[in-house]
Amino acid sequence: MSYLPSKTLPYRIELYRQLKRKRTAIAYLFVVSLPVLVAIAVKFGPSGNSGGPTRLGSGTTDLIGLATIGASNFTVTMLYFATPFLLVTVIALFNGDTVASEASWSTLRYLLASPVPRARLLIQKVKVSLSLSALAVLIMPISSWIVGAIAFGTKSLQSPLGATFPNLVAVSRIAIITLYIGVSLTFIAGLAFYLSVRTDAPLGAVGVAVAISILLSILDTITALGDLRAWLPVHYSFSWFDALATSIDYSVMIRGGSYCFMVGVVFYALAINRFAHKDITS
């Protein structure tokens, strides 16, 4: 009998183990249901019966007010709704629960004793949870666009900054936005993963990660903190608004994306370092 560390916990097996969980399906269901629910609410809600054009919100030039123009506007608005909480929660779930749940099922010790080398176990876990997270971030705009196209048609994207983009440009802008959201969420992914390694309670890791994200968002609204806020990763949650300008200024997105990525990487490194030295007693 031979043993190869590089063959332990293959990506496909870990993906299968996670995909078979109800939690995964429910998380994706949440992501898909947001645009559907909003579209239904706007289409059949009370304001839709008054005869006038249906609009979300009261403004006519802000992002939410423009949501019902067409699929692209609807998608951008859904991304705006989903960024601060829904996607954060889903990403925290995928990354925060992955190791802690193994500990709570007691499967972690059997994997480590088999042995799956510790760093490899985490890296395989990271690969899979990041794949699941990326899929969630991708599903959000795709499902929104399809739902938006069915409910409101496929008119050009109208930016709250006054610019109008034909569909092909609009889709490329949405792609840039989605990519940015994905990168900026690496911060929450890293944080949740670190907490996952620190605790045996899966929901604890997820909850604390989401709570920290909310706390930082609150801090970010305190203008008295001034420039200090630039060091809060959540400060850059909505920097993708820059992608709605006529000509995109990437500077803040580059800064925000890089910073969130850096913070995420630090947490991943801390997680692997801690796990490598940990006495597994669960």
Partner 1 sequence: MTWSARGFGESTGQIEMNAIDAEVADTRALIDYLARNKNVALDASGDPRVGILGSSYGGANALLTASQDSRVDAVIADISWSNLKQGLFPQSIESSSVSGPFKKIWAGTFFSAATLQSAYLGECGSFAQRWCDAYRNAVLQGSPSLAEARLLDSVSPIKFASSITAPTLLSQGQADSLFPLSESYKLAEKISENKSGSPLSMIWHADGHDGSNVQAPYLQEQFLLWFQKHLLKHEIDFPIFQFTRMNGSISLQDSTVIPKVFRSEKLPFKNESRQLQVVTPTVAMIYPIGGVPSAISALPGIGSAGALASQLLSNLADFSPAFLPGQSGFLESAPLTAPLSIVGPSSIKVRITSTEPDATLFFSLVTKTPGGAINLPNGIVAPVKISNISDGGSDVVVNLPITVLDASIGDIVAVGVSATDQGYETPKTSRFYSVSPLSPLIFQTSVATAARSSLESFLWPVGALVSFVAAVVFVRIRRPKIAPTKETSDTLLVVENLGKTYKDGHKALTDLSFQVQRGQVVGLLGPNGAGKTTALRMMMGLIFPTDGSIYLNGESIYPGSPALSNIGCFVEGPGFLPHLSGRENLRLYWRSIGRDGEQYLDQVIAITKLGTALDKKVRTYSQGMRQRLAIAQSMLGMPDLLVLDEPTNGLDPQQIAEMRQVLKNYASTGRTVVISSHLLAEIQQTCSHVVLIHRGELIAFGQMEDLLSKNHRSQSLEETFLELIGDDLVIGREDQ
Give yes or no for residue 255 binding partner 1 (CB under 8 A). yes
In the bound complex, what is the minimum distance in angstroms from residue 40's beta carbon to partner 1? 26
Give 146 or 270: the residue with its C-beta nearer to partner 1.
Answer: 270
Determine contact, residues 9/18, Cβ cutoff 8 Å: no
| Phi and psi, residue 239, nearest 5° | -65, -15
Give 29 or 40: the residue with its C-beta nearer to partner 1.
Answer: 29
Determine contact, residues 157/72, Cβ cutoff 8 Å: yes
In the bound complex, what is the minimum distance in angstroms from residue 132's beta carbon to partner 1? 16
- Stretch in the footprint of partner 1 (CB under 8 A) among 1-9, 42-50, 140-148, 201-209: 1-9
Give 121 or 143: the residue with its C-beta nearer to partner 1.
Answer: 121
What letter does residue 225 receive in the DSSP assignment?
Answer: G
Quote the distance between the C-alpha of residue 105 and its chain's center. 26
d(CA 127, CA 98): 11
| Phi and psi, residue 157, nearest 5° | -75, 125
Give yes or no for residue 95 binding partner 1 (CB under 8 A). no
Question: Could you say which of 11, 44, 105, 231 contacts partner 1 (CB under 8 A)?
Answer: 105
Give yes or no for residue 164 binding partner 1 (CB under 8 A). yes
Please choose, from the candidates 267, 273, 275, 272, the residue with its C-alpha nearest in 3D space to the C-alpha of residue 109.
Answer: 275
Give yes or no for residue 114 binding partner 1 (CB under 8 A). yes
Give yes or no for residue 154 binding partner 1 (CB under 8 A). no
Question: Could you say which of 134, 142, 149, 163 contacts partner 1 (CB under 8 A)?
Answer: 163
Q: Which two tokens stand for residue 157?
A: 């994207």
- Stretch in the footprint of partner 1 (CB under 8 A) among 37-45, 115-123, 127-135, 191-199: 115-123
d(CA 63, CA 278): 48
d(CA 99, CA 275): 10
Residues 194-253 that bind partner 1 (CB under 8 A): 221, 238-239, 241-242, 245-247, 249-252
- Contacts with 5 (C-beta within 8 Å, 6 or more apart), sequence order: 115, 116, 117, 120
Give yes or no for residue 179 binding partner 1 (CB under 8 A). no
Give yes or no for residue 153 binding partner 1 (CB under 8 A). no
Residues 10-39 that bind partner 1 (CB under 8 A): 10, 13-14, 16-17, 20-22
**Residue 247 exposure: Cα atoms within 13 Å on the Cβ side:** 0
What letter does residue 59 receive in the DSSP assignment?
Answer: -
Residues 39-68 that bind partner 1 (CB under 8 A): 59-62
Question: Could you say which of 70, 160, 202, 233 contacts partner 1 (CB under 8 A)?
Answer: 160
d(CA 16, CA 114): 19
Give 83 or 143: the residue with its C-beta nearer to partner 1.
Answer: 83
Give 55 or 207: the residue with its C-beta nearer to partner 1.
Answer: 55
